[in-house]
Structures are given as structure tokens and as C-alpha cells.
Amino acid sequence: MKQNYDLLVIGGGPGGAVAARTAAEKGFSVCMVEKRPAIGVPIRCAEGIGKDVLSEFITPDSKFISAEIKRARLVAPDSTSMMLESEMAGSKVGYILDRKVFDRELAWQAADAGADVFVKTRASAPIIVGGEVKGATLEHCGTRREVHADIVIAADGVESKFSRWCGMNTTVPVREIMSSVQYLMTDIDIDPHTTVFFLGNEVAPQGYLWIFPKGERSANVGIGISGKKSGAGHRARDYLDRFVSATFPEGKTIECVVGGVSVCKPLECTVADGLMVIGDAARVVDPLTGGGIYNAMFTGKLAVEVAEKAIEAGNFSKSALMDYDTRWRESFMGKAIARNYQIKEYFVTLSDEKLNALIQSASKMNLSEFSTLALIKELIRRNPKLLTELAALRASLG
């Protein structure tokens, strides 16, 4: 480990790894530190990602893909279901990754591109000089050292502390944390190419329960409920256990995943002097779906592109880095977050009766593109009243 780098990346998830890889490819000296002893474990993810967006960052490879997804099924509280398919018949719309291998592959690529990578190495404090973040104190197996960098990228995930230590407010409102548990189950009857989403206040209050295939007879069976609805005797685990014992009584659980997904608005500002915040740490998860893998990679790459200009200009101030904040907000991803936040705020108010009515409006939908936006547009077409209720969204839905 050197004492000085152009960039120091804190966290070895998909956001941090893509940032480190991008920086190394651009010829910068970059160091990525991960506090856990191994990249990619324990996983905290249902591992779903869209086909197109994955290819933006990595060539899909069977070694980190567990299943190919062709369609999705939404199940209403009254068990009515709606099948969502892509108009492009037969084409796959997404993947269920094997994140243990996927995260590792990204870190590998970062290292191959020239990044320094350290595991079991935790950032425990920022180095702040004259109000500007200049590096971090790193702790590794009982040793402590200071590493300086022109720019620090905080990619430290949902449990992020670094940007808070630098003075940012990162607290997720209780009602906007999805308290989640998931079992990787095997020996269960599933459709290996369909993701299933169960909605309803009895099944998963202000959240959803999912079955994401991991193979012919295996799947991630998980749930996220609003923190507001969680409490003793009615936690995510209680809901999931009830579902699993009713639906897959003979199934075997070979892994238990726990996690929190933020579905709040992103941080008010994702840069400070010498600091850029990306991925879950920046709270850029899609508030409707809870998906954050792509958003982490997207913000990781964009942050480095802006950092490149700052480094060339020798200016690491907040205003020099601000372009990152502006650009992700204006991007397709930023707009999707803003829109889906509004849609999520509406959906969490829906009674089971309304959810039933929405899903009953079609047993099958052929979407022009496989996205939440296309689904919402179709739902509105079939339930025109929705648009009055979603008035705030009219402009952005086009």
C-alpha cells in the first residue's frame, strides 16, 4: 500500500469496483479498500439485473449468471396474477446473478487494470485538511495507517459511515428502509425463467416478496417490508417464514441473507470538497424496485469521469466535483429514481382492494420494453383513473 494515491475508493461492492476499474484504466493510481475479509460475501442481494444494463459494464458470462429471466409475474393479495412479457418474443429480459462470483470478477478486473486492492481493510476516519477530504485512516489486522488521496470515493454501501464522518446527513427515514430477509432455497417447484413478485399488506406490508430463480429447482425467496411496519413479532423474517412454510414446506434453505435497502430520496448532495459518494452510500437505489447494482456501477463510473477532469485541473473542491452530482441527476438513472420515488410514494398508500383491481386489469401484458416505466404506462392505459391519482407524474410519464 502506498501513502499517496490519486483516488482512494472505500468499499469493494459493484460501485467501488467499477470506480476502481475505471480509474485504473484511465491510468490513475487508485486504491480500493474493503473491510470484509472477502469481496462478495456475505451477499445482501436478490441478484436481479436487466439484460441491457448489465452489458454496459461487463460482458455477461455464465460463470456469474445463475439464471436467465424471460418474464415476470405479479401476484395480487387475492392471488390473481398478471404475467409481464417482452414484446420481443422469446428474448431474455434479465439475469439473476451469482453475486459472490460477480463482485469478485469486478474486483478482479479492477486489480488487473492496475488498481491496488486490499481486503480486511477498513476506513475508520477521514483525513480532513483545511475542510477538504484528503484521504482516510485505514485499519488492517491491528495496524493503522493514513493514506492520502486527491479524491476519496465513498462506496461503502447501505451501512455507509464515511460521508457522515465528513459531515453529510445520511440517515435513512425509518419508513424508507426496506427491512429484508432472503433464503436461498433448493428442491422447490418454480418456473426457472420467471421472477415472481407478491404484493399486499398481509404478505409484505409496503414492500414485496420475491422469488428469483437461481436454477431449475432453486431460488432466492425473499422479502422487504417498510421499517415502519417492522417490529417484534412482525419482522421481515416472520413474514418470510410464514410464506415459506405455506409455499415451500419441503424446500431446503442453504443460505440466509439479511439486509436493508434504502428507498428514500438520494442524498441531498453527493459531493463535498475532496469527496464523492456513489451507489448505496449515496442512496441511489431505485425506490420502486429496490434495485441498486446498476445504479452503483453507473455512479461509480461517472464519478471517475468527473474526477478525471478535476485531477487534470488540480482542483478537488466541491464545485469542481459538482458536475458528478448534476450529471447523475440529469441522467436516465437519475430521472428514473425521481419518477419511481413518486410512484413508490403512491403505491405504498394502496389498499389490498386497489392492488387487486390493478392486477385484475390484465392477466397478461406484452411490454414494448421491459421496464417499470413501460409497466406503469400500460397500467394507466387500462386504469385511466390512476393518472388523476398520479397527477404529479403526468409530465414525466410523457
Ligand X SMILES: Cc1cc2nc3c(=O)[nH]c(=O)nc-3n(C[C@H](O)[C@H](O)[C@H](O)COP(=O)(O)OP(=O)(O)OC[C@H]3O[C@@H](n4cnc5c(N)ncnc54)[C@H](O)[C@@H]3O)c2cc1C
Q: Which residues bind other proteins (CB under 8 A)?
A: 35-37, 42, 44, 120, 122, 157-161, 164, 170-174, 177, 179-181, 227, 230-232, 235-237, 256-260, 262
Cell of 163: 460521508
Measured CA to CA, the distance from residue 243 to residue 237 in angstroms comes to 10
Q: Which does 5 bind (CB under 5 to 8 A by kind): other proteins, ligand X, none?
A: none
Q: Within a 10 A sphere around the Cβ of 99, how many other Cβ atoms?
A: 24
Binding-site partner at residue 235 among ligand X, other proteins, none, CB < 5 to 8 Å by type? other proteins
Q: Which 12-31 residues touch ligand X, going by CB under 6 A?
A: 12-16
- Where are the strands (E) in 188-267, listed by range? 194-198, 208-213, 218-226, 252-262
One-letter amino acid for residue 378 of the chain: E
The listed partner (other proteins, ligand X, none) that binds 46, CB under 5 to 8 Å by sort, is ligand X
For other proteins, give the closer residue by CB, 50 or 287: 287
- Shortest Å distance, C-beta 307 to ligand X: 17
b vs e for 155-169, b when ≥16 Cβ sit within 10 Å of the residue's Cβ?
Answer: bbbbebbbbebbebe
Among 274, 287, 292, 334, binds ligand X (CB under 6 A): 292
**Among ligand X, other proteins, none, what binds residue 11 when CB lies within 5 to 8 Å by partner kind?**
ligand X
Residue 96 CB, shortest distance to ligand X, in Å, is: 8
Q: Does 266 bind ligand X (CB under 6 A)?
A: no
Phi, psi of 279 (to 5 degrees): 60, -150
Q: Of the ranges 6-14, 145-153, 329-337, 346-354, which one interacts with ligand X (CB under 6 A)?
A: 6-14
Cis peptide before 249 (omega within 30 of 0): no
Q: Among 145, 130, 184, which Cα is nearest to 316's? A: 130
**Residue found under cell 441498486:** 292
Shortest Å, Cβ 174 to ligand X: 16
Cell numbers placing 358: 390493478
Give the residues lining the site for ligand X (CB under 6 A). 10-16, 33-36, 44-49, 122-123, 155-159, 161-162, 180, 182, 222, 257, 259, 261, 279-281, 285, 290-294, 296
